[in-house]
Structure 1
Amino acid sequence: MSFQIGDLVTAEYKTGMYYGEVVELTSSMKAAVKILAVNIHPTQGDLHNPMDPNVPFFHQRRALAHQEIALMPLSTIRPYAGAVPEYKESLHRALQDQMAKLAELEKKPEYEAWAKRSLQELEQLHQDYFPSVN
């Protein structure tokens, strides 16, 4: 699929998904995408050991910032033709969705420890993202 500068897209970056705008076609494999909104908040923890709370470093993964430009593989970018939500509202919704999924996973013994740890990280991120709401 070919993209043009200015195209609206959805794009995956690590474990998050974003609405964005193509700002530069850097190579035949990647494009620079300006972040406009958050669709799916990034997963917490170690990408190489998913759902494992007992790793040497449990990563706290922030969502990409509004208007941040990220270099993304073209294979993770899809055209988008809908309305782009407002960034802060989309971040809040994506964070709440992720927390709700983790609350459900927390009920399953095999995921309980990882979900609990992930929720702790997301609660901290919520305080960072929305300090006046707490």
Structure 2
Amino acid sequence: MNEITPGTIARADVRSGQYIGEIIEVNGPRAVFKVLAVLKHPEQGDLHHPYNPDVAMFHERRALGYTEKTNVLLRDLKPYEGEVPDYNTSLHEAVASQIAALDRLMRWSARGLELLKELRKDYK
């Protein structure tokens, strides 16, 4: 891995989201990371019970804001090459991508449920 130093543009995994940002400072095993764009919107719900809607608390997770600073472990950082996209555009694209994935999962689930109900009739 290339060395992470202040001023480096990096990709960071933060909780269940992924961001592009600038390293502001490095403190031992962590770095202060300033968010510039969103690559993957954080996942909703209980991360310990994925895809279970019947949990005690179904978490809403917002994306980190533009220029928001957060501490990130160095192991969760990778240098980023290329143009940094506009924050608002990247945020909307990340949300749209997650909505499309959940829609596909809902359609898969509905189709599987439909087929299992038909199979159940054959199994009697």
TM over 0.5: yes
- Any idea what SS the aligned residue of 1:94 has? helix
1:123 match: none
1:39 equivalenced with 2:39 (yes/no): yes
Structure 2 distance, partners of 1:89, 1:34, is 17
Q: Deviations over 1:102-132 (max 9, x none)?
A: 000011328x9xxxxxxxxxxxxxxxxxxxx
Mapping of residues 81-120 of structure 1, within 5 Å: 81-109=81-109
- Any idea what SS the aligned residue of 1:34 has? strand
Give the unaligned 5+ runs of structure 1. 113-134
- Any idea what SS the aligned residue of 1:60 has? coil
| Bigger Rg, structure 1 or 2 | 2
Q: Which amino acid is 1:72 matched to?
A: V
Structure 2 distance, partners of 1:44, 1:64, is 14
1:76 match: 76
Give the unaligned 5+ runs of structure 2. 113-124
2:26 match: 25
Q: Which amino acid is 2:107 matched to?
A: K
Q: Which amino acid is 2:24 matched to?
A: V
2:14 match: 13
1:4 match: 5
Aligned-residue sequence identity (percent) comes to 41
1:63 match: 63
Q: Which amino acid is 1:17 matched to?
A: Q
**TM superposition outliers: structure 1 runs of 4+ over 4 Å:** none
2:51 match: 51
How many aligned positions are there? Answer: 110
- Any idea what SS the aligned residue of 2:109 has? coil
How far 1:48 sits from its partner (Å)? 1.6
Structure 2 distance, partners of 1:34, 1:26, is 14
CA RMSD of aligned residues (A): 1.5
How far 1:86 sits from its partner (Å)? 0.5
> What TM-score results when the alignment is normalised by the length of structure 1?
0.78
